[in-house]
Each structure stands twice: as C-alpha cells, then as structure tokens.
Amino acid sequence: MAQTAKKADYETKRTRDHDTIRRWADERSGHPALVEGTEILRIDFKEPDENLKQVSWDEFFDTFDERELDFLYQEHTRDGKVSRFNKFVTHEGQ
C-alpha cells in the first residue's frame, strides 16, 4: 500500500531561494533549461522535448532574478510519491 504524504509535503510551496530550487531539481534528476528561442524557464527531466536547451545554473538564475519570478513546487503527491510539479510565476511582492 502506498504511503500517504503529510499535508505539508503535498501542498504547493513557493520560493525564490536558489539553493531550494537547485536541491529540488537535483533530487529529481532535473536540469536548468530554457525553451528554445525564448526566455521561458523550465526544469528539464530529460524526457523527449527537443525545444528545451540546457543552460547553466548561473544563466538560469540570472534570468529567474531578472524576471522577478517565484518557483512553485511540490515535494510529494498526495499518495506519497515524489512529485515533479513545478511552475514559474511572477513574484508576489511583500
């Protein structure tokens, strides 16, 4: 039987912290990427998507900071599996 995740693990979280974003991606074998011909950020999980161009973390975070983005992510799904849910959104000022 699948282990159910604690509520805090499957709720969507929001961060601007570079170390948190990099840790989350590394734990899922993700790499920083841009959609070819755009400045749209993505985490590439090496699934077939020829439109993604892998970039360095420095280039990735330069774009992330320039565009004042937040990273939405989920640690686990409701049923306890590792989640790859992520999205880049406009930063909500404090």
Domain boundaries, the chain: 7-90
Whole-Å CA distances, 14 to 18, 28, 39, 73, 87 = 12, 18, 21, 7, 9
Give me the pLDDT at residue 11, please: 86
- What tens-digit pLDDT sequence spans the chain (94 residues)? 445 556 566 789 999 999 999 999 999 999 999 998 888 999 999 876 778 999 999 999 999 999 999 999 999 998 989 999 999 999 886 5
Cβ–Cβ < 8 Å for 60, 53: no
